[in-house]
Amino acid sequence: SQQGEEDPQALSIQEGENATMNCSYKTSINNLQWYRQNSGRGLVHLILIRSNEREKHSGRLRVTLDTSKKSSSLLITASRAADTASYFCATVPLGGGSQGNLIFGKGTKLSVKP
């Protein structure tokens, strides 16, 4: 069953603009992760935020987590054409055991126009 749902499904912006993607999930989590997938390639890990964290930064990426609303957002600042990709949130449900299997959403397709 799908745990995370990204919103919007697709986003088109101009280079230099900021891109914001949202993720909502259903059950309590251990952590939430964001991944990027370029067309025809495997997924690449971007950032992990734990359930006791509210905000995290990595370069041009800013992730927030609101556990009361069961939602997260990924902000990419000053976007570049190279940021064009699909972005997925993935959650590790609380109580998932040591295996801690990730459950992925369906992704947001970001297009950054030069």
Partner 1 sequence: DAGITQSPRHKVTETGTPVTLRCHQTENHRYMYWYRQDPGHGLRLIHYSYGVKDTDKGEVSDGYSVSRSKTEDFLLTLESATSSQTSVYFCAISETGPGELFFGEGSRLTVL
Binding site for partner 1 (CB under 8 A): 1-2, 30-31, 33, 35, 40-45, 48, 88, 90, 92, 96-107
Least Cβ distance, residue 17 to partner 1 (angstroms): 26
Q: Which is nearer to partner 1, 76 or 87 (CB)?
A: 87
d(CA 45, CA 47): 6
Q: Which is nearer to partner 1, 45 or 54 (CB)?
A: 45
Least Cβ distance, residue 70 to partner 1 (angstroms): 17
Least Cβ distance, residue 75 to partner 1 (angstroms): 20
